[in-house]
C-alpha cells in the first residue's frame, strides 16, 4: 500500500484552552488559516506541543474532529493525529476514530511507563495499533528524550518492513544523524522521514530531508522557509545565520520555563491559546513583559508568522 509522502513544514499545533483551562476549539479555523497563509503543509495534533498526554480521551476526539472539520476539503494539508503511547487499548480506539473521521495519518510513540524491552516488542505494539486503521498511514514518533525509548530506528524499520502495510515513516525527534540517515536510505528511501528538531533543521537538509514537524513553525514559519530557500540556492552562510536565529529564538523557551513559552510566542502572533495544564508551569505576567523585550531584540517581527503575508 503506497501513501503520499509528506514534504514541507508540518506544524505541531498547541491545543487551545480558554481562561478556565477548558478546550477553546472556536479558534481552530483561524489557527488553520494562520498555518495555511504561512505555507505550512499540515498539522501534527495532540502531540507533545499539543499536550496530548494532558488531554482526556474525549478531549482528544474533540480536538481531532475540530481540526478535521476545517481541513477535510483541503487535500494539500495533511492532518496527523497523535494517538499516545502508554495505553495500547486506548491508542487502538483513537486510531479507529481517526480513520472514521478521515485523518490523513496516525502516529504512536513508545510506551514510557512499562517500556518495550526492545524493537521487537515495540514493533508488536505498532502492528497491533496499525491493524485497526487499515486505510490510514501510520507513523512512529521517535522522541526518546521524553519517552526514554532510546531504540535504533534503523532496527525498528528492519523489524517492521513488510509486516505493517500502513507503516509510512517516522517523526524523528532525536539528534542521532547516523541513525536518521540510515533510515532515510533504507530500502532506497522507502519510508517518509520527518525531522523533528527545529534547531537542527539545516543539518537535516544536508542529509536530504524534505519534511519536518515542529512547534516553532506555528509562529515563525517564514524563518524556516527562508532557511530552506537559502540552502537550496547554495547560500550556506545565509542558511547558517538563519539557523542561528532559530536557535536564539528556541533558547528563550529554556530561559522562560520550557515548552509553555511556545504559547507566549503564539500571543505575539495574535493567536491566544491560553496556558499549559499542570504539571507544566506557565509564565508570569512580569516574565511575559521581559520575554517580549527579548523577543523584540531577536527581530521577531521580521520573521514571525502572520495572516498578512503574501503567498
Determine the average pLDDT of the residues in 300-308: 92
Q: What is the pLDDT of residue 308?
A: 76
| pLDDT at residue 309, rounded to an integer | 53
**CA-CA distance, 264 to 256, in Å (whole number)?**
10
What is the rounded average pLDDT for all residues in the chain? 96
Region of 168 (left: φ > 0; alpha: ψ -120 to 50; beta: rest) is alpha
Distance in angstroms between the alpha carbons of the first and the last residue of the chain = 34
Q: What separation in angstroms does the CA of 197 have from each of 89, 151, 215?
A: 29, 17, 9
Report whether pLDDT(172) > 70.
yes
Give the whole-number percent of the chain exceeding pLDDT 70: 98
Identify the DSSP state of 269. Answer: T
Amino acid 12: pLDDT: 98
Residue labelled with grid coordinates 505494539: 125
CA distance 262 to 298: 15
pLDDT band at 115 (very low <50, low <70, confident <90, very high): very high
| Closest of 201, 114, 120, 109 to residue 146, by C-alpha | 109
| pLDDT at residue 307, as a whole number | 87
Q: What is the mean pLDDT of residues 83-102?
A: 96
| pLDDT at residue 4 tops 90 | no
Helix 153-160 × helix 177-185 angle, to 10°: 30
Q: Read off the pLDDT of residues 195-217 as tens digits, 9 standing for 90 and up.
A: 999 999 999 999 999 999 999 99
Catalytic-role residue among 3, 141, 256, 265: 141
Residue 311 pLDDT > 90: no
Mean pLDDT of 275-285: 95
Q: Known catalytic residue: 171?
A: yes
Q: What is the pLDDT of residues 227-260, one digit of tens each?
A: 999 999 999 999 999 999 999 999 999 999 999 9
Sheet strands (E) in the chain: 8-11, 42-45, 78-84, 105-109, 137-142, 167-172, 192-195, 211-214
Q: Which one of 41, 60, 92, 171 is the catalytic residue?
A: 171
Q: Give residue 114's pLDDT.
A: 93
Mean pLDDT of 95-122: 96
User: Does 141 qualify as catalytic in the annotation?
Assistant: yes
Query: What is the sign, positive or negative, of the torsion defined by CA atoms of 265, 267, 270, 273?
Result: positive
Instruction: Write down the pLDDT at residue 1.
Output: 53
CA 4 – CA 163 distance, rounded (Å): 19
Q: How far apart are CA 225 and CA 32, in angstroms?
A: 18
- How much of the chain is in helix, strand and coil states, percent to nearest 5? 50, 15, 40
What is the reported pLDDT for 104?
A: 96
pLDDT band for position 61 (50/70/90)? very high
Amino acid at each position: 500500500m503506497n501513501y503520499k509522502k509528506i514534504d514541507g513544514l508540518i506544524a505541531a499545533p498547541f491545543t487551545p484552552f480558554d481562561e478556565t483551562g477548558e478546550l477553546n476549539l472556536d479558534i481552530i479555523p483561524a489557527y488553520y488559516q494562520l498555518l495555511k497563509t504561512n505555507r505550512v503543509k499540515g498539522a501534527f495534533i495532540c502531540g507533545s506541543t499539543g499536550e496530548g498526554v494532558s488531554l482526556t480521551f474525549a478531549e482528544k476526539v474533540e480536538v481531532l474532529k475540530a481540526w478535521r472539520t476545517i481541513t477535510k476539503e483541503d487535500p494539500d494539508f495533511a492532518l496527523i493525529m497523535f494517538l499516545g503511547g502508554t495505553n495500547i487499548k486506548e491508542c487502538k480506539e483513537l486510531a479507529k476514530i481517526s480513520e472514521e473521521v478521515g485523518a490523513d495519518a496516525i502516529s504512536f510513540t513508545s510506551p514510557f511507563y512499562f517500556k518495550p524491552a526492545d524493537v521487537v516488542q515495540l514493533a508488536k505494539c505498532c502492528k497491533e495499533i496499525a491493524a485497526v486503521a487499515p486505510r490510514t498511514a501510520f507513523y512512529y514518533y521517535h522522541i526518546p528524550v521524553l519517552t526514554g525509548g532510546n531504540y535504533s530506528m534503523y532496527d525498528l524499520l528492519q523489524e517492521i518492513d513488510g509486516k505493517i502495510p500502513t507503516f509510512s515513516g517516522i517523526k524523528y525527534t532525536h539528534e542521532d544523524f547516523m541513525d536518521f540517515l540510515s533510515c532515510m536510505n533504507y530500502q532506497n528511501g522507502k519510508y517518509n522521514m520527518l525531522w523533528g528538531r527545529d534547531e537542527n533543521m539545516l543539518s537535516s537538509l544536508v542529509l536530504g530531508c524534505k519534511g519536518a514537524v515542529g512547534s516553532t513553525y506555528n509562529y515563525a514559519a517564514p524563518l524556516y522557509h527562508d532557511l530552506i530557500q537559502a540552502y537550496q540556492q547554495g547560500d550556506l552562510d545565509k542558511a547558517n545565520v538563519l539557523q542561528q536565529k532559530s536557535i536564539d529564538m528556541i533558547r528563550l523557551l529554556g530561559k522562560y520555563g520550557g515548552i509553555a513559552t511556545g504559547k507566549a510566542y503564539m500571543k505575539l502572533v495574535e493567536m491566544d491559546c491560553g496556558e499549559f495544564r499542570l504539571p507544566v508551569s506557565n509564565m508570569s505576567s512580569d516574565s511575559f513583559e521581559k520575554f517580549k523585550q527579548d523577543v523584540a531584540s531577536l527581530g521577531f517581527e521580521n520573521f514571525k508568522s502572520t495572516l498578512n503575508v503574501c503567498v
